[in-house]
C-alpha cells in the first residue's frame, strides 16, 4: 500500500517502522526488569506468568496461555521451570485429566510480597506519569487487539 505522506524510499527506513519501535522498546523494557527479576530468580516470561497467578490462583495451563498470548508448547516448559523452583505446582484436574491446574505454592505466594516494589521501580525507570503509562498501555492493547482481529 503506497504511503502518500512519505517518500517511497522512506517507508522502509527502520526508524519509520512501528514494529521496530515496539520490538526495541520491548527489549529495553525486559533489560530494565532484569536486575529486579534476577533477585527473585525469575525471567520476564516467568514473572508475567506469576502475575497472572497472583491475580487468580488455580488456573489451567490453557487459561494462563490465553492471558499471556502463549501456546502450550511455549508455556509448558516455562511452567515446569517455575515448578522446579518451588513457586508453583502442576496438578491434573480430577474432573478432567486432560486439564492441568497450576497452583501457587506457599513459596510462590510469599514471592508476591518481594515483587511488590517492582512496578514503582519500573515507573521511575520509564520517567512517565501514571496517566502516561495508562494511556500508552491502553493504546498498545488496542493495537494488539486490532492486529489479532485482522488475523482472524
pTM of the predicted model as reported, rounded to 2 decimal places: 0.88
Whether the predicted pLDDT of 8 surpasses 80: no
Higher pLDDT, 42 or 152: 42
Domain ranges of the chain: 41-115
**18-65 pLDDT, tens per residue?**
999 999 999 999 999 999 999 999 999 999 999 999 999 999 999 999
Return the number of other C-beta atoms located less than 10 Å from residue 5's C-beta: 6
Write down the residue that cell numbers 526508524 correspond to. Answer: 15
What residues contact 85, with CB distance under 8 A and at least 6 apart? 41
Give the cell for residue 77: 516448559
The pLDDT, as a whole number, for residue 152 is: 83
CATH 1.10.10.10 for domain 41-115, yes or no, is yes
The pLDDT, as a whole number, for residue 10 is: 85
The pLDDT, as a whole number, for residue 4 is: 64
Amino acid at each position: 500500500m503506497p504511503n502518500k505522506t512519505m517518500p517511497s524510499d522512506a517507508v522502509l527506513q527502520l526508524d519509520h517502522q512501528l514494529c521496530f519501535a515496539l520490538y526495541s522498546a520491548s527489549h529495553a523494557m525486559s533489560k530494565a526488569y532484569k536486575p529486579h527479576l534476577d533477585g527473585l530468580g525469575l525471567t520476564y516470561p516467568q514473572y508475567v506468568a506469576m502475575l497472572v497467578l497472583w491475580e487468580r490462583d488455580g488456573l489451567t495451563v490453557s487459561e494462563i496461555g490465553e492471558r499471556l498470548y502463549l501456546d502450550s508448547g511455549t508455556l509448558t516448559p516455562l511452567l515446569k521451570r517455575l515448578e522446579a523452583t518451588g513457586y508453583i505446582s502442576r496438578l491434573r484436574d480430577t474432573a478432567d485429566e486432560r486439564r492441568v491446574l497450576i497452583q501457587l505454592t506457599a513459596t510462590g505466594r510469599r514471592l508476591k510480597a518481594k515483587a511488590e516494589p517492582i512496578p514503582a521501580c519500573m515507573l521511575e525507570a520509564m520517567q512517565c506519569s501514571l496517566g502516561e503509562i495508562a494511556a500508552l498501555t491502553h493504546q498498545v492493547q488496542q493495537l494488539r487487539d486490532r492486529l489479532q482481529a485482522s488475523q482472524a
